[in-house]
Amino acid sequence: MRLRPRARKNGHLLFLRDSTLMAQALDPKRFELAGDSFPVAEQVGSFLALGFFSVSANGVLAYRSGSFGGNPRLVWFDRGGKSLGTLGQPADYYGGLALSPDGKRVAVGELDQAGNRDIWLLDVTRGVHTRFTFDALSATPIWSPDGTRLVFNSSRGASRNIYQKDSSGSGYEELLAKSGSPEDWSPDGGYLLYILVDPKTNNTDLWVLPNPSGPPENHKPVPYLQTPFVKRQGQFSPDGHWIAYASDESGSSQYQIYVQSFPAGAGKFQVSTGAGGTQPRWRRDGKEIFYLAADGKLMAVETQTTPKFEAGAPKALFDPLISRGRMSPQVFYRYDVTADGKRFLAISASTAPETSASAPITVMVDWLAALKR
């Protein structure tokens, strides 16, 4: 809805009715509508409560047709940054991205045009798009090591809790922990790593839930890492003996990537440098850690985890043009990597050539006069 305060005798209120841009005379002093509304333009785009049009006080109107053109795509890249194709359709991907252990499915959070935030599953081969959660605010999907379960956080009442569900979509959702958000599942299936807000510091700590697939009476969470700083995006190493995570503990207002032993106490290392980074991911053989630098570039660090942890210097691979939107880089993962470390799936602003053209913007210098001609 837009108000044009100076338009001859009266101003005009502009608004969308379905995809038709409408205008109605408005007395700016009394703020009262006058006469009937009339169409100005057809097929004007919108998303949720946002109409893709703007009008100035001197009568210049600009609008764009079509659907929400700012939506990113799921794009495959090789290590050199070459686009290898896309998966699914453009969407407002919100709430994290995770490849299944066998690489055949993708779990991703999406915000639809009705404002629903749910987790969807995409079949990598067939491109089939299936809704996984319903009627709730759900995000941060995490696969079990064998791919048979998905853990996620979701709003049920006043708090966001952690649930798990069969990855086929069948069965009921099982409450795992009240409050918190899942981060990773240990390779042996014995621990679920998750974050929990400390009410004293208002920062997130890392906790582990033993035996997440076992009976509820055995779900007794214990803290893994509690400090005055933010700690999140924890990821188990493939051998289960180390955890990579992002934290602002350097005090530079930037996140850095750290690796600490699991259980804690046998060593801690910083693997990012310079401008820092977020969203660490391990290669399946444990020989690399990937992360996103502050400038958006995907970085790679050579590592070894036995007989002791060692890390090389970070190297920039490419810029996946990851779309930021509402997705905080300190909260939600916007990429994942295949087991061999050769391909990356990213929520990217990069588009395939056939879809790269954006919807045109129409400009009317004096829209009211143009309608009368």
pLDDT at 288 over 60: yes
When computed from its CA atoms, the radius of gyration of the chain, rounded to whole angstroms, is: 24
Tens digits of residue pLDDT in 204-227? 999 999 988 877 777 789 999 999
What pLDDT does 328 receive? Answer: 58
Q: What is the pLDDT of residue 2?
A: 55
The region of weakest confidence among 50-54, 62-66, 207-211, 233-237 is 62-66
Buried b (16+ CB within 10 A) or exposed e, 187-207: bebbbbbbbbeeeeeebbbbb
Residue range 357-372: average pLDDT?
77
> Who wins on pLDDT, 250 or 258?
258
For 317-331, the pLDDT digits (tens) are 999 988 654 445 667
- Contact yes or no for 307/241 (Cβ under 8 A): no
Provide mean pLDDT across the span 293-310.
94
Tens of pLDDT, residues 91-125: 888 889 999 999 999 999 998 777 788 999 999 99
Helices and strands: H and E segment counts in the chain? 1, 34
Which is it for strands 242-247 and 256-261: parallel, antiparallel or unpaired? Answer: antiparallel
- At 157-187, the pLDDT tens digits run 677 899 999 999 988 899 998 889 999 999 9
Instruction: Give the residue range(s) of CATH 2.120.10.30 domains in the chain.
Output: 73-353
Question: In sequence order, what are the residues at sequence separation of 6 or more whose Cβ sits closer than 8 angstroms to the Cβ of residue 162?
Answer: 151, 152, 153, 175, 176, 177, 178, 179, 180, 181, 182, 192, 194, 209
Asked if 246 contacts 254 with a C-beta cutoff of 8 angstroms, the reply is no
Q: Mean pLDDT across the stretch 246-273?
A: 90
User: Which CATH superfamily is 73-353 part of?
Assistant: TolB, C-terminal domain (2.120.10.30)
Categorize the per-residue pLDDT at 298 as very low, low, confident or very high, splitting at 50, 70 and 90: very high
Please state the pTM of the whole predicted model: 0.76
